[in-house]
């Protein structure tokens, strides 16, 4: 049977998802994704050309709330979980 | 009678009558957890000191036991729900040391109702799984047979209630993660209508599907817990502003004359004979209680697994993009640039199933594949929802098995994700449609393993499914059965 997704594509998708896969993981991922994607083909037996798509279980529109200024979380509390910070900002490796 | 074996409403009566103090109660539970949980691993983090401190407030009269039916009652809470000051790991390495600076709305509401949290319960990493084996820390075991899984993803919450390690608990259900473990562990589990309970502070897996709901030892307890957490919340714009009925009052109505739909697509080949027999027996009981059984059809049931395993991973891949090693959680050390840091952090922090779903989700949303997969699946979702809406024109509620199979052995399905996904076949459609569902014990299969009955209702009819569950429970002994844990140490 034709592969739904090749190893090269898996590598590309991993890059999009910001994941690094080892050789072995990549091989396994390709096999399992093929298995699952082949199963998904089942959906093609349904004609959905006139069916609207559904993104939410409950139809909600224009959920508004008053635009009030409320206290936000304390900076110190938020930075407490930072892997690296200088007490004012999150620190990350050099970008530019 | 042992304190730990009481239901929430019994325990609360005990506390009110001063037959036990809150401190005695919490102490009894903590001792039991210490003795029995090493066999089950249902808790990731215990909150013992805080729980004892809370209990004292009741015992010295600074908090009022009369304030709510949950006042002074010890509960467990799934480790995907934020608890201010107590780590919330989602059973993932990437959040192993994350301590939320805020409470989820449901946590806040439990505190307000006076409940005492004993600890955070184990789960499949980021709620992705059907067995709780995908926890990055340890698998949870089924109290009925410790060689078997408790179900998932809320396996810890279900096992802890079944083994009397807490009086009740909260879990989350995206595709069956409350109902299936409730069935596997022989307790009550309720997934509310999408929008009934605020998701604020629930770490997101699939935002259009996730709902928080209770695990309990009987239906009345489930009603009490749902009552405490249901209702609109300004901080979750998808929570719906609709009045919350009095569930305990509503559940006591007779079910005489109710029409219960039996979908023929839920009685397929591959369903275990023991499971089918227990569910058939339950239907006979419901008929004896005066309900009318009508055969219905939910024609798109067989497409539920495929649609769900496109939609949920798609949403997950987007939600989990936030775990990048910048603001919280794990960061891979010594990365020379930002891109390397992202990739290494995520690769070390996520387990294999989470990576698989992120990959699947990224793929089905990527250019060239979006229409074939994601768009198609969301159209099929419309069809599945229509199935239910049409069925509810012929019946008031729907009864089905929760799962086609009893709890399976630890390790039995870990190598075959597709087989694991297929075990969710009876819970996924209701999740896709956003309707509420409850799992109630309805018997046992060979080897004394619990079987659950699923009752599904129209949107926002939790009162109706609680009513059916309550009347069924009153007529049957199954919910009173408890696993024999005490022979162990």
Please give the C-alpha separations between residue B157 and each of B211, B245, B277, B301, in angstroms, as whole numbers.
15, 26, 27, 28
% of chain B exceeding 90 in pLDDT: 94
Query: How does pLDDT run across B117-132, given as a tens digit for each residue?
Result: 999 999 999 999 999 9
- Is B21 in the active site? no
Question: Cβ separation of A57 and B385 shorter than 8 Å?
Answer: yes
B306: Cβ contacts below 8 Å, ≥ 6 apart: A39, A40, A42, A43, B377, B380
Residue of A nearest to B323 (CA): A18
Of B417 and A22, the one with more pLDDT: A22
Count, in order, helices (H) and strands (E) of chain B: 16, 11
Question: Would the pLDDT of A83 be above 80?
Answer: yes
Contacts of B376 in chain A (CB under 8 A): 43-44, 48
* pLDDT on residue A1: 59
**Residue A77, H or E segment:** helix A75-79
- Could you give the 3-state DSSP secondary structure of residue B129? coil
Any CB–CB contact under 8 A between B359 and chain A? yes
Any CB–CB contact under 8 A between B460 and chain A? no
Contacts of A63 in chain B (CB under 8 A): 237-238
Residue of B nearest to A76 (CA): B101
Question: Cβ separation of A53 and B378 shorter than 8 Å?
Answer: yes
Q: Is the dihedral of CA B116, B122, B128, B131 positive or negative?
A: negative
- Could you give the 3-state DSSP secondary structure of residue B437? strand
Contacts of B324 in chain A (CB under 8 A): 18
Parallel/antiparallel/unpaired status of strands B292-296 and B259-263: parallel
Residue range B373-389: average pLDDT?
97
Distance CA B49, CA B55 (A): 10
Of B102 and B487, the one with more pLDDT: B102
Residue of A nearest to B95 (CA): A81
B366: Cβ contacts below 8 Å, ≥ 6 apart: A13, A16
Query: How does pLDDT run across B260-305, given as a tens digit for each residue?
Result: 999 999 987 789 999 999 999 999 999 999 999 999 999 999 999 9
Pick from A14, A40, A82: which is nearest to B328 by CB? A82
CA A26 to chain centre: 18
- Is B78 in the active site? yes
Question: Cβ separation of B347 and A19 shorter than 8 Å?
Answer: yes
Question: Would the pLDDT of B87 be above 80?
Answer: yes
Query: How does pLDDT run across B46-79, given as a tens digit for each residue?
Result: 999 999 999 999 999 999 999 999 999 999 999 9
Query: How does pLDDT run across A10-69, given as a tens digit for each residue?
Result: 999 999 999 999 999 999 999 999 999 999 999 999 999 999 999 888 877 888 888 999
Contacts of A90 in chain B (CB under 8 A): 326-327
**d(CA B143, nearest CA chain A) in Å:** 31
Distance CA B419, CA B176 (A): 15
Contacts of B368 in chain A (CB under 8 A): none
**Mutation for testing the B interface, residue in A6, A10, A13 having most B CBs under 10 Å:** A13
Distance CA B481, CA B469 (A): 16
Query: How does pLDDT run across B6-30, given as a tens digit for each residue?
Result: 999 999 999 999 999 999 999 999 9
Asked if residue B175 lies in contact with residue B145, where contact means CB atoms within 8 angstroms, the answer is no
* pLDDT on residue B422: 87
Question: Cβ separation of A29 and B359 shorter than 8 Å?
Answer: yes
- Interface size A-B, in CB pairs within 8 Å, comes to 169
**d(CA A93, nearest CA chain B) in Å:** 5
Residue of B nearest to A49 (CA): B379
DSSP symbols for B86-120: B---TT-GGGTT---SS--HHHHHHHHTT-EEEEE
Within a 10 A sphere around the Cβ of B36, how many other Cβ atoms? 20
Q: Which of B92, B131, B132, B153 is catalytic?
A: B153
**d(CA A42, nearest CA chain B) in Å:** 7
Within 281-310 of B, beta carbons closer than 8 Å to A belong to 300, 302-303, 305-307, 309-310
- Is B130 in the active site? no
Contacts of B382 in chain A (CB under 8 A): 51-54
- Which domains does chain A show, CATH number per domain? 7-44 (1.10.20)
Q: What is the pTM of this model?
A: 0.97
Residues for chain A: how many in total? Answer: 96
Q: Which of B130, B157, B169, B177 is catalytic?
A: B177
Question: Cβ separation of B335 and A25 shorter than 8 Å?
Answer: no
* pLDDT on residue B420: 87
Any CB–CB contact under 8 A between B352 and chain A? yes
Contacts of A84 in chain B (CB under 8 A): 331
Query: How does pLDDT run across B196-211, given as a tens digit for each residue?
Result: 999 999 999 999 999 9
**d(CA A1, nearest CA chain B) in Å:** 18
With DSSP H G I counted as helix, E B as strand and the rest as coil, what are the percentages for chain B, rounded to 5? 45, 15, 40
Contacts of A51 in chain B (CB under 8 A): 379-380, 382-383
Binned at pLDDT 50, 70 and 90, residue B489 comes out as very low
B128: Cβ contacts below 8 Å, ≥ 6 apart: B134, B153, B205, B316, B353, B354, B357
* pLDDT on residue A66: 87
Any CB–CB contact under 8 A between B342 and chain A? yes
Structure tokens at B294: 């009508």
Question: Cβ separation of B382 and A40 shorter than 8 Å?
Answer: no
The residue to which tokens 């076949």 are assigned: B425
Residue of A nearest to B234 (CA): A65
Query: What kind of architecture, by CATH, is found in domain B3-254+477-488?
Result: Alpha-Beta Complex (3.90)
Question: Would the pLDDT of B1 be above 90?
Answer: no
- Ramachandran class of A53: left when φ > 0, alpha when ψ lies in -120 to 50, beta otherwise: beta
Question: Cβ separation of B376 and A39 shorter than 8 Å?
Answer: no
Question: Cβ separation of A19 and B102 shorter than 8 Å?
Answer: no
**d(CA A2, nearest CA chain B) in Å:** 17
């Amino acid at each position: 049977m034709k592969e739904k997704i090749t190893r090269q594509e898996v590598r590309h998708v991993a890059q999009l998802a910001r994941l690094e896969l080892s050789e072995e993981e990549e091989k396994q991922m390709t096999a399992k994704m093929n298995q699952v994607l082949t199963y998904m083909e089942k959906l093609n037996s349904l004609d959905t050309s006139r069916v609207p798509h559904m993104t939410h279980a409950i139809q909600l529109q224009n959920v508004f709330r008053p635009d009030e200024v409320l206290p936000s979380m304390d900076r110190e509390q938020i930075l407490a979980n930072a892997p690296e910070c200088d007490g004012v900002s999150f620190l990350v490796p050099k970008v530019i | 009678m042992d304190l730990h074996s009481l239901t929430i409403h019994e325990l609360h009566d005990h506390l009110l009558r001063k037959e036990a103090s809150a401190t005695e109660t919490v102490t009894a539970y903590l001792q039991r957890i210490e003795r029995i949980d090493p066999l089950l691993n249902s808790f990731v983090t215990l909150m013992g000191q805080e729980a004892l401190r809370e209990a004292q407030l009741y015992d010295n009269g600074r908090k009022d036991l009369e304030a709510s039916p949950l006042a002074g009652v010890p509960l467990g809470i799934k480790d995907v729900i934020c608890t201010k000051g107590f780590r919330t790991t989602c059973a993932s390495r990437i959040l192993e040391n994350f301590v939320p600076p805020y409470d989820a709305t449901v946590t806040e509401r439990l505190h307000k109702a006076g409940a005492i949290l004993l600890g955070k319960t184990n789960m499949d990493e980021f709620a992705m799984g059907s067995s709780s084996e995908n926890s990055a820390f340890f698998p949870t075991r089924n109290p009925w047979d410790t060689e078997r899984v408790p179900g998932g993803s809320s396996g810890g919450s279900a096992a802890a209630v079944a083994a009397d390690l807490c009086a009740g608990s909260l879990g989350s259900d995206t595709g069956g993660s409350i109902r299936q473990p409730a069935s596997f562990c022989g307790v009550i589990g309720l997934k509310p209508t999408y929008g009934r309970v605020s998701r604020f502070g629930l770490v997101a897996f699939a935002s259009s599907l996730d709902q928080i709901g209770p695990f309990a030892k009987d239906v009345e307890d489930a009603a009490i817990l749902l009552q405490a957490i249901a209702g609109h919340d300004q901080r979750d714009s998808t929570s719906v502003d609709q009045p919350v009925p009095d569930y305990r009052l509503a559940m006591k109505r007779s079910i005489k004359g109710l029409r219960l739909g039996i979908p023929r697509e839920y009685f397929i080949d591959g369903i275990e004979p023991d499971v089918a027999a227990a569910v058939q027996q339950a239907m006979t009981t419901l008929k004896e209680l005066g309900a009318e059984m009508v055969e219905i059809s939910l024609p798109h049931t067989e497409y539920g697994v495929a649609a769900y395993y496109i939609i949920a991973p798609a949403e997950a891949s987007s939600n989990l993009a936030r775990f990048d090693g910048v603001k919280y959680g794990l960061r891979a050390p010594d990365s020379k640039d930002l891109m390397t840091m992202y990739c290494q952090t995520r690769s070390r922090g996520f387990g294999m199933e989470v990576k698989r779903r992120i990959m699947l989700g990224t793929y089905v949303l990527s250019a060239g594949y979006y229409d074939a997969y994601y768009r198609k699946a969301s159209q099929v979702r419309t069809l599945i929802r229509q199935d239910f809406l049409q069925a509810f024109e012929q019946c008031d509620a729907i009864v089905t098995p929760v799962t086609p199979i009893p709890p399976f052995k630890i390790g039995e399905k870990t190598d075959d994700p597709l087989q694991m996904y297929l075990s969710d076949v009876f819970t996924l459609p209701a999740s896709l449609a956003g309707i509420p569902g409850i799992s109630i014990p309805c018997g046992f299969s060979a080897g004394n393993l619990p079987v659950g009955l699923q009752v599904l209702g129209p949107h926002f009819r939790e009162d109706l499914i609680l009513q059916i569950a309550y009347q069924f429970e009153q007529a049957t002994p199954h919910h009173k059965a408890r696993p024999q844990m005490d022979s162990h140490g």
